[in-house]
Amino acid sequence: MPSLSDEIYRRLRDEINGGVFPAGEALREQNLASRYGSSRTPVRNALKRLDEEGVILLLQNRGARILSWDEDEVSDTYDLRADVESRLAEIAAIKANSTEIEALKEISSRFSDAIETDNRNYDHITHLNYLFHTKLAEIANSTTLENHLETLMQKTAVKATLQRSEEAKLNRFKDQHSELIEALEVHDPEWAASIMRSHILGIKHFLIYRMKK
């Protein structure tokens, strides 16, 4: 069973990624303990984990601060994610069986339905996007790469990206998911890796473009 520290870590991480706490905001242990109905110790442990993942910066005797990104950090992080996820896609294309591919299709279909509704629920869309990427990693079954991906995904606030995306960008994400599934169906690792790299680097360039506006 997850500990209270684990639960607070997940809740705080999700709220940071969801924009509840904006970049640069100070996080105080006592305030967070009151928010989550706990003592300061599990909050302190959760903050240490987020500091190790690069989501926040712990300041000695001054609590913590949510990190803001500059263009170089966005570029470096997404370049790393493109390397990790393209390799996972390559492995998955070799290993995927029909049951696993059907599971990816089901997630992709739900993602498509979610972005085509008039009143989009971006929390739900983000969750489905997360499920798609983590399911692909599960198919590849590489513990080392999965651990790297988990860390990188916590640093990349996908919800903010999706919420600011134009209609064409969301549809492009949907099409790339579908094309990736096609590559897995024919067990073409080079095709799968190429699609995934294009997908992740497209997000990177979109974020940098938005930062410059």
pLDDT: is 127 or 28 the higher one? 28
pLDDT: is 26 or 139 the higher one? 139
Over residues 12-19, the mean pLDDT reads 76
Over residues 1-14, the mean pLDDT reads 86
Which residue shows structure tokens 């601060």?
65
Domains defined along the chain, listed by start: 4-66 (1.10.10.10), 71-212 (1.20.120.530)
Over residues 9-38, the mean pLDDT reads 85
d(CA 13, CA 32): 12
Please choose, from the candidates 48, 77, 80, the residue with its C-alpha nearest in 3D space to the C-alpha of residue 64: 48
pLDDT of amino acid 163: 57
User: pLDDT digit string (tens) for 40-88?
Assistant: 999 999 999 888 777 788 877 777 888 777 788 888 889 999 999 999 9
User: pLDDT digit string (tens) for 130-187?
Assistant: 899 999 999 999 999 988 887 777 666 554 556 556 667 888 989 999 999 999 999 9
pLDDT of amino acid 70: 77
99-104-105 Cα angle (round to 5)? 95
d(CA 67, CA 149): 19
pLDDT of amino acid 154: 66
Over residues 116-132, the mean pLDDT reads 82
Can you tell me whether residue 65 is helix, strand or coil?
strand
pLDDT of amino acid 183: 98
Is residue 132 within 8 A of residue 107, CB to CB? The reply is: yes
pLDDT of amino acid 57: 83
Q: Which of left, alpha, beta for 61 (phi over 0: left; psi -120 to 50: alpha)?
A: left
Which tokens hold the place of 186?
């024919």
Distances (CA, A) of 189 to 94, 177, 180: 6, 15, 10
pLDDT of amino acid 36: 93
pTM above 0.85, yes or no: no
Instruction: Return the H-helix or E-strand segment holding 165.
Output: none
Is residue 206 within 8 A of residue 165, CB to CB? The reply is: yes
